């Protein structure tokens, strides 16, 4: 640790909004409340959100994470579907096994599921903008019969895609994509297929858009480099790093664990930016700030581009108990 009197000055521009979104907060609360109501173990299909710190914390409290329902014994314990959503085949499998299920799918992902169902019911073939293999994409594609969806990952694929001849078309997107990249892909699809239908409301969620706008504001305010607190498998976190570099930052660093950050790497910078993906808790942001303080005379400035007041309700039966509920039970 450098003695306080000799630490070089550094402006830290702190993005706002950052970190947990309403969908992630709801998903984590569902697991916590399920553990409180049912006790351990509670099974969770896939990581509830893409953040190792969050997952490890829930695992320590009794959550058991699996990739497939086949890994879950028929012991009557609850199983939770992750915030990314699941295919209809997964729901059907759970019903056939009479599993007790709790759905932590983000309501904004559910909105996309219902939208693609409506477009399919109108006889349209769906072009889904997203990343192959991402659980949200797998869940969205799994809302429709096989062959009803074609995945488009980038502008090159938008230029080359060949949907079924004569089919009416609609497009939808993963909720955690780059706003700018998605706009470019949609422009290509609209040029090639002028009659293509789009969603009634934008599929990219408010939290993704706000966090990307905040990162652009950090760079505009002078951040030479940007730290993104988030996991490597977190789509929205990776997009934040890309947005920072495209906005003009000399570099963007995706940090999953604060202790892995080499603060000395920012020597010579006058100002850097800090944000967090939608699945990264604020405690990790503060741990990064603490780590930087050991190396620099830090001046923290918040850069806010939006206020977020959205909150999602827990599923029926999982809402936290009130004092009145407790008295009634007694």
Q: How far apart are CA 15 and CA 274, in angstroms?
A: 6
The whole-number pLDDT of residue 286 equals 97
Q: How far apart are CA 73 and CA 90, in angstroms?
A: 15
* Residue-level length of the chain: 330
Q: How far apart are CA 224 and CA 203, in angstroms?
A: 31
- What rounded mean pLDDT belongs to the chain? 93
pLDDT in tens, 149-167: 999 999 999 999 999 999 9
How many percent of the chain have pLDDT more than 70?
96
Decide if 136 is catalytic.
yes
pLDDT in tens, 103-141: 999 999 999 999 999 999 999 999 999 999 999 999 999
Helix (H) or strand (E) holding 304: strand 297-304
| Domains located in the chain, CATH noted | 4-21+206-304 (3.40.1010.20), 22-106 (3.40.50.11270), 108-192 (3.40.1010.20)
State the DSSP string of 12-80.
Answer: EEEEES-S--HHHHHHHHHHHHHHHHH-S-EEEES-SSS-HHHHHHHHHTTEEEESSGGGS-SSS--EE
pLDDT in tens, 219-230: 999 999 999 999
Q: Which residues contact 53 (CB under 8 A, 6 or more apart)?
A: 256, 257, 280, 281, 283, 284
Catalytic residue among 115, 136, 256, 259: 136
Mean pLDDT in residue range 254-269: 93
Q: How confident is the model at residue 201 (pLDDT cuts 50, 70, 90)?
A: confident
320 has pLDDT over 70: no
* pTM, entire model: 0.90
The whole-number pLDDT of residue 329 equals 35
205 has pLDDT over 90: yes
Q: How confident is the model at residue 309 (pLDDT cuts 50, 70, 90)?
A: very high
The whole-number pLDDT of residue 4 equals 73
pLDDT in tens, 1-24: 677 778 899 999 999 999 999 999
Q: Estimate the crossing angle of helix 179-192 against helix 206-220, to 10 degrees.
A: 120
Mean pLDDT in residue range 274-303: 96
Residue that is written with structure tokens 């830290």 in the block: 12
pLDDT in tens, 49-78: 999 999 999 999 999 999 999 999 999 999
């Amino acid at each position: 640790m450098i003695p306080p009197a000799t630490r070089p000055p550094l402006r830290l521009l702190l993005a706002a909004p950052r970190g947990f979104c309403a969908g992630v907060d709801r998903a984590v609360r569902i697991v916590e409340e399920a553990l409180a109501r049912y006790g351990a173990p509670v099974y969770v299909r896939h990581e509830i959100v893409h953040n190792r710190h969050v997952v490890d914390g829930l695992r320590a409290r009794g959550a058991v994470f699996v990739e497939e329902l086949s890994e879950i014994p028929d012991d009557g314990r609850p199983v939770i579907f992750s915030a990314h959503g699941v295919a209809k085949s997964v729901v059907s499998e759970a019903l056939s096994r009479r599993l007790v299920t709790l759905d932590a799918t983000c309501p904004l992902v559910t909105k996309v599921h219902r939208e693609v169902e409506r477009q399919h019911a109108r006889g349209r073939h769906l072009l889904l903008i997203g990343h192959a293999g991402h659980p949200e994409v797998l869940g969205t594609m799994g809302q429709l019969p096989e062959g009803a969806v074609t995945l488009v990952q980038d502008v090159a694929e938008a230029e080359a895609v060949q949907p079924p001849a004569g089919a009416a078309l609609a497009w939808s997107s993963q909720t955690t994509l780059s706003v700018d990249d998605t706009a470019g892909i949609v422009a290509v699809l609209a040029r090639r297929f002028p009659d293509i239908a789009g969603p009634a409301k934008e599929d990219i969620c408010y939290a993704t858009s706000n966090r990307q706008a905040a990162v652009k504001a950090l760079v505009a305010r002078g951040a030479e480099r940007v730290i993104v607190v988030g996991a490597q498998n977190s789509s929205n976190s990776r997009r934040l790093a890309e947005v920072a570099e495209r906005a003009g930052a000399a570099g963007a660093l995706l940090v999953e664990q604060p202790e892995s950050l080499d603060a000395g790497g920012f020597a010579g910078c006058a100002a850097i930016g800090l944000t967090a993906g939608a699945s990264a808790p604020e405690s990790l942001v503060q741990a990064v700030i603490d780590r930087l303080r050991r190396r620099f005379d830090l001046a923290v400035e918040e850069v806010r581009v939006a206020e977020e007041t959205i909150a999602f309700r827990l599923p029926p039966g999982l809402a936290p108990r009130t004092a009145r509920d407790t008295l009634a039970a007694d």
